[in-house]
Structure 1
């Protein structure tokens, strides 16, 4: 499956496919054209919802646009109008604008559920006149409504005190004595999870990271991979060889430190971007700098560790020792037992509660993270799918969630400022209040991963919540919020 997601100049066609889960979303953006400042495309995805019963939320696709100057060959982030009436959506969808104009949320306009067929969307861009290539990107998100929630569970390692986070917690902050956990007091400027936000439904996939790399300059690419962009075609750029189920390779080498490389997926070495080349597998070996760069580029932001607990537990009462799927069951699954390995339909057919990608393997060529949304089916429940309260997948197991920590002053200085779609010339995020991209000070890890022991997967386990690191690791992944 080769992703062809750009079109040349004004009159060509764009095709973008994020086939993350044939039973979960299968987002497709097709048939793109541009007329003046308007860009039109069709969007479709599976198993969409807008519900007024618990958890009373909806899913959406965060859509943003990159455009490439045909003279300089440089990509930039397109602004979109913040006036709702400037955008149109066919039934049953609506376009929700955001105040910074860095993208839009596309979602169901009324209560309902099921697949969204190809539906026409027209967005008004705010970019200078010129001749451009365009790429349209879509990331599936889940809405996390404004609400009070329980923090801490009373038994997990380093857990917060068992408190309720509410409107007063956000408006007035939370004292160190109230929250516990050994960190400083949390100011009102820190996102504590009470206010509404969107969370990525899945961890970043390998295809999404490839699409990110393919919109960077040569110098920016150098910072975001482990091999030089001038390496020969077929070079694996995450581990130096195929390992831990990561198959991102150089498809076309870069040249003269100026022409960027083109990347693809090739888990089954030979023909790049075949259906079984791991495009849907979660992206591992991300450093904090890699994750921050992706989130800044996508105009998202990092998640705080308090928001992590809100996404997992929702408004339900705390349960001692509970996992993100809402109970104390945990059943580990190992990548060698799955069906349709490395394909968009990768799955595990043994249905039990507490399904979780968390097991120790024996070979780096065999074990690693599973496909995002791997346990979700049309008939799975929350526990058998391993789903968090609001519908986010793999919040426990698979790969560590890198979160903003409240264990130190650097972490609580984070204000929730959003990425703007633009990176530094060497490919780093440059957002004020985000932790340092080199040291990772102010970050930690929550939710466990595929080689963890079970306690680390618990919602309230903070064993590594303040363990800052700027290094890459085969168990690190990530997702963003907005």
Structure 2
């Protein structure tokens, strides 16, 4: 949808949503301040099955909002910068919060988080949100004509807290204490020694090399935001449609759309996107101003803080597993499955969030302790390994723009050509019941992957962002 607005310049507006059931509406730009070179981006937002709790999980869901813009008669889409004034509250940064919401801006201004300001659950329908866009900082003149796209991604807040690595189970190559095969209690973001002492981290079969995991490597103790769902076909198509034609061709894994670039339409918009390479996923995360998660953050996001592990448990907290069966409305936004709690033993991925309803339990939905969906199955979760090559990784987010001659992700700290920098957690839709153990939280059967552009059928994932 496009609209033409006039203030001192002409602004053509579009709006998009790129998550399981979040929608945005009434996107506009106004209230231009030519002295300070900013305008207000205005929008309404709605999504289903939202929550905020102060008991048990003590967490909440929300949306990560970011904007892309391009000047009239140019092709290149760029990432918009929102105003940030410490501590990032709406009042300090000049944003307007809808009633019942909180808007929080990270210090790089690459987007905002919007979420409930009080305990509650149910559907969200907020109107009148306004974000201060510092267009002058992005190289836009007061009289430029600019087109924008607003994106919304559902996310879940994972609070700070100690948690256990490993489950006292028999998962392949699981993490454990150094002196004996029992779970390891991670209590801070301090550097970790990998070795054989009681205070050390170790792994079954010695697959985690001895040495030090630096303090800057994200371990999951500190709070972070995690995408509620895996990357969807709609999200990936939206990403491709903002790239130049050559880059979009490079980043397209298969014929999953109709139409032509830059108006690609996915065949199953809500289905989890598969057949992605590491480069594909990392480029989308850079473009979204997110980052990949580490394998330690993965276990925290699944198991939760201060939760006694269940041996060999899956993301939903026990060992009861049933692959999905008897679908209705395959590929549509209304896709459901009569039974099952994991996308497994199937010929295609299921819809993002297909098993979650207003009445489903953690076990029946396949959700993690914090309400993050499909962490055990459906699509592999790309993670930064805690092994030696991955220990150079730090909590650095994408800047929203791809770089280099190939327009690839360009965050130096995300790249290492050595085997073992990236791995996969969880499992994917095509596996048979023989491999159920691979989908357990602490399984590290795919702890090491070779960094290349190979596209696996189960390749995909999601991103995270460090909380501030």
TM range (shorter): 0.7 to 0.9
1:10 shift after superposition: 4.1
Distance 1:42 1:96 in 2: 16
Partner of 1:356: 342
1:104 shift after superposition: 0.3
Partner of 1:29: 24
Distance 1:105 1:210 in 2: 23
Partner of 1:204: 231
1:28 shift after superposition: 0.9
The one-character-per-residue Cα deviations of 1:295-353 (angstroms, maximum 9, x if unpaired) are 0000000010000000000021111110000001110125xx31111100101123x6x
The one-character-per-residue Cα deviations of 1:332-377 (angstroms, maximum 9, x if unpaired) are 125xx31111100101123x6xx11110x5xxxxx21100111111
1:78-227 superposed matches below 5 A: 78-83=80-85, 84-85=90-91, 86-127=94-135, 128-129=140-141, 130-154=144-168, 155-161=170-176, 162-167=183-188, 170-177=189-196, 178-181=200-203, 182-184=207-209, 185-225=212-252
1:62-461 superposed matches below 5 A: 62-83=64-85, 84-85=90-91, 86-127=94-135, 128-129=140-141, 130-154=144-168, 155-161=170-176, 162-167=183-188, 170-177=189-196, 178-181=200-203, 182-184=207-209, 185-225=212-252, 238-240=253-255, 247-249=256-258, 251-252=259-260, 261-266=262-267, 278-315=268-305, 316-333=307-324, 337-350=326-339, 355-359=341-345, 361=346, 367-407=347-387, 409-424=388-403, 425-436=405-416, 442-452=421-431, 453-461=435-443
1:262 shift after superposition: 2.7
1:44 shift after superposition: 1.2
Q: Secondary structure at the residue paired with 1:338?
A: strand
Q: Judging changes above 3 Å, is the alpha-carbon distance between structure 1 residues 19 and 145 closer, same or farther for their aligned structure 2 residues?
A: closer
Distance 2:309 2:19 in 1: 34
Gaps of 5+ in 1: 21-25, 226-237, 241-246, 254-260, 267-277, 362-366
CA contact under 8 A between 2:424 and 2:446: conserved in structure 1? Answer: yes
Distance 2:226 2:151 in 1: 16
- The count of residues paired between Structure 1 and Structure 2 equals 422
Partner of 1:229: none
Partner of 1:272: none
Distance 1:5 1:149 in 2: 47
Q: Judging changes above 3 Å, is the alpha-carbon distance between structure 1 residues 193 and 19 closer, same or farther for their aligned structure 2 residues?
A: closer
Distance 1:330 1:7 in 2: 52
Distance 2:278 2:11 in 1: 39
Give the root-mean-square deviation of aligned CA atoms: 1.8
Partner of 1:479: 462
Q: Secondary structure at the residue paired with 1:89?
A: coil
CA contact under 8 A between 2:70 and 2:147: conserved in structure 1? Answer: yes
Q: Secondary structure at the residue paired with 1:198?
A: strand
Distance 2:195 2:424 in 1: 20
TM norm structure 2: 0.86
More strand by share: 2
Gaps of 5+ in 2: 33-38, 177-182
1:11 shift after superposition: 5.0
The one-character-per-residue Cα deviations of 1:25-69 (angstroms, maximum 9, x if unpaired) are x21111111112111111111121111011010101000000011
Distance 1:380 1:66 in 2: 36
TM norm structure 1: 0.84
Residue 465 in structure 1 maps to residue 467 in structure 2: no
Q: Secondary structure at the residue paired with 2:264?
A: strand
Distance 1:205 1:100 in 2: 26
The one-character-per-residue Cα deviations of 1:272-312 (angstroms, maximum 9, x if unpaired) are xxxxxx10000001100000000000000001000000000
CA contact under 8 A between 1:333 and 1:357: conserved in structure 2? Answer: yes
Q: Judging changes above 3 Å, is the alpha-carbon distance between structure 1 residues 110 and 358 closer, same or farther for their aligned structure 2 residues?
A: same
